[in-house]
Amino acid sequence: MKKAAIAFASLTALALGLSACSVSTTPGGDASAPAGDGDIVIGFSQATQQSPFYVELGEGVEQAAEAGGASLEYVDANGDITKQNNDIEDLITRGVDVLLINPVDPQGIAPSLASAKAAGIPVVTVDRPAAGAAAHVGRDNVAMGELVGEALKEKLGDEGGKIIEIQGDAGGTVAMDRSEGFHNAFEGDDAVTIVEGPYAEYIRSNAVTAMQDLLQSNPDVRAVYAHNDDMALGALQVLAENGRTDVFVAGVDGLMEAVQAIADGDQYVATALNDPIALGATAAETALSVAAGDSVDAEIDAGTELVTAENAADLVGSTLFAQAK
């Protein structure tokens, strides 16, 4: 969600760091090899590593697993549900104690969940829930969208106006929830019109292209809301290129670049914290508890916090995503 160089650097750091935690990053490796040396073994199936958010989610999992004395088998589906199912089947064959899954498609991993159940291996999901898991660790994306919407509503005031919404992915639960929460904030407000823009897949360059067209067709726009900060920053770039400093911008995730923009001026209005390292750590800790036979809540909310001009300066730091104080 920032620059490609950062993503690759973070990914390299992750790959190096994982080696300290009995980690396999190669799906379909030697299935005859023991998964661990007596420690609890977490099999982590990641949806993708093609964004800094998910790279840092993996770092959080790795750090918490190491701190808990666990071994970690790490596989990357690269956005492919067929590969993810194959990866999970491989982890089951390797005899992991618990599966931690960030599903590419929550419905698409049903075969793997059935195999895990048959093998007596409990499953914890992270970021995206899936039916049949023992527990899910995530954040309330409806609440995050609503928090940002309320902040933007306050900024617009009674005058209201037109808001462009740049969406995440078609059919994705995160996109649907962040949209629902945002719309909730403006329910019954006749002074506001929300124009639902295209799905930009959470990618900044896609949002830039979309915003160029949206700005031409909606010159009277007063604000832009994007389902993540990376897309919001893409919209902000287009607005700057067209001298439209009068249009407010808001996003979600707490990307440090967005937090800095909020601290620096008044055009970028708000974001909501979605620290992936903390999320990954909570997910790994939950997986360890489940593997140990402890009772855990079926739904675990990792929490969030609204970022505005009032607190942005306090959250600015060197991390890729802002962390709650």
Q: Domain boundaries in the chain?
A: 4-138+276-294, 141-273+308-315
325 residues of the chain, pLDDT tens digit each? 333 333 333 333 343 343 334 344 433 333 333 344 458 999 999 998 877 888 899 999 999 999 999 999 999 999 899 999 999 999 999 999 999 999 999 999 999 999 999 999 999 999 999 999 999 999 999 999 999 999 999 999 999 999 999 999 888 888 999 999 999 999 999 999 999 999 998 999 999 999 999 999 999 999 999 999 999 999 999 999 999 999 999 999 999 999 999 999 999 999 999 999 999 999 999 999 999 999 999 999 999 999 999 999 999 999 999 998 7
In 3D space, the residue among 207, 215, 254, 263 whose CA is nearest the CA of residue 235 turns out to be 207
Q: In this predicted structure, what is the pLDDT of residue 53?
A: 87
| DSSP β-bridge partners for residue 199 | 167
Contact 162, 215 (CB under 8 A): no
In 3D space, the residue among 77, 45, 71 whose CA is nearest the CA of residue 58 turns out to be 45
Mean confidence (pLDDT) of the chain: 89
Distance separating alpha carbons of residues 260 and 243, to the nearest angstrom = 20
Give whole-number Cα distances, 238 to 133, 232, 245, 247, 254, in Å. 42, 10, 10, 11, 20
The third-level CATH classification (topology) of the domain covering 141-273+308-315 is Rossmann fold (3.40.50)
| DSSP β-bridge partners for residue 76 | 46
| Domain pair 4-138+276-294 / 141-273+308-315, same fold | yes
pLDDT in tens, 247-270: 999 999 999 999 999 999 999 999
Domain 4-138+276-294 of CATH type 3.10.20.80: no
pLDDT in tens, 54-106: 889 999 999 999 999 999 999 999 989 999 999 999 999 999 999 999 999 99
* 104 Cβ contact partners less than 8 Å away, ≥ 6 residues apart: 47, 48, 77, 79, 80, 81, 84
SS3 248: strand
Task: Report pTM.
Answer: 0.81
- The values of phi and psi at residue 46, to 5°, are -90, 140
